[in-house]
Structure 1
Amino acid sequence: MKKLRLYVRLLRLLAVISLGTLLAAGITLLERLTRHDLMPTRQRLTRWFLARLTAALPFRLTVEGELPRQPMLWVSNHVSWTDIPLLGMLTPLSFLSKAEVRSWPVAGWLALKAGTLFIRRGSADSALLNQQLGTHLQQGRNLLIFPEGTTTDGLGLRTFHGRLLSSAIDCGVAVQPVAIRYLRNGQPCSVAPFIGDDDMLSHLLRLLSFDLAEVHIQLLRPIASAELNRNALARAAQQAIRDALFGAAEAEQPADIHGQAA
């Protein structure tokens, strides 16, 4: 029975990914024929696709809070690659992801077509990165980043990197903190985190083999970026997310957890 469930889920997921590939290919062809950047259309289709992808994953989703009405820089804690479809289905978003994702079969190409910006770990060119992020924000697009720079097991937060939030200050847009939590039987889920030596295929198969996990997403109060420097803004966003996940009494020291960015 467990194997049958896995096969059914895999077939459903493959059907969704195939549909996404066709949509991305069609948009790419249309852009070449019209010689126009169809980013708004790509983002709307990406949101539609990510909603179907999320429905194919073994999650039961709860969302609290209000979606922002103005373009903002979204910042979230980072537990797994599944954070991206779960958050991306809420509203049209662009993402900032590690460069290695670009080389993932199918998923990397789909991420590129969805408008994802890729960053190399340890890259010292902060000015260029902030220019790219600022371009997205100035064009009225929501942008999602994971300022921890890596995934964790969901039991704590790592330090938020302030340099990734400079674009919000430069563009005068607010920051939308988001807290995402995976639970199983009321306890932190040990299956959903994508950390350590995990690879995409083995993690996916493990995830699909288990019963449904609960996912709670909290859209917290936006933080105005005016009159804050990037480090103060990062600390404010980190504290808001920490309080939402663990309560205000949680110690402020970053968790010493080894993960990987997605």
Structure 2
Amino acid sequence: MTEAAPDPLERLRERLAAFPDGEVRTGTVAGFGERGDVLVQLDGDDPQAPTGTIPRHLLSWAAFEDPGEVVSIGQRITAEVSGVVERTGEVVLSARACEDEALYRYLRRTRRGDVVTGTVAAVHNFGVFVRLDGEPSHPAYPGTGFIRVPDLTWSRIDHPEDAVRPGQRVTGEVVVIDTYQGEVVVSLKALQEDPWDRLTAGTGDVVAGPVTKVVPFGVFVRVGEAAEGLVHASDLDGQVVSEGQELAVRIVEIDRMLRRIRLAPAD
């Protein structure tokens, strides 16, 4: 009787159980792939063929032209499991995650929800790097802490520099520990009071506030301390307004779930 072919799904489940994401494994460099990947014979895994792969971009924090500059065949290596390829059962590894031992230890002992303080090291349009107090120096980035733009403030901003500047001291809450990128993702907003919780005005109320932004489809007006609403261009009836101008508006609609306020000029 012919034995039934192994169930690919069951095989994948076994591989996922044997190599959970984030687990640190050791092995031996067995060769190099066509795209510059490094093939690894993992300790305790199938000895017939290499079943671990380190993609080129996960090999090292250092710049290199050829992976042979970083590792050699027969070299022992330590890497973190990043996933398992569904089709082949191949284990995807990150040697970069474990390359800087001090950084890896720091990331592993940091916990989501921790409150951390640091100094803004660099501000970019995609986010802010922070040198966290007590962190080891990062091998590639200006700081181990990173703040995504939506996590900077509840207020509307055009650029992260509208919220923070290099050298500024900041305190935030850890929301993600990312060994893949080697960074601690921090939210300043998590420790700030939500301005919508302080919004006392309701539908039909007339309030006055500064114009915070002029866009082709209308203008945004601050309502209360920090919440903002939109006056659509069609409701302005040709009225010209500029940023900073005080404008009296009537609240037409408040959608707390979508965090949107629709305004109209006061009668």
For normalisation by structure 1, the TM-score amounts to: 0.21
More RCO (CA 8 Å, sep 6+): 1
- Structure number having the greater strand percentage: 2
For normalisation by structure 2, the TM-score amounts to: 0.21
Q: Which has the larger radius of gyration?
A: 2
- Structure number having the greater helix percentage: 1
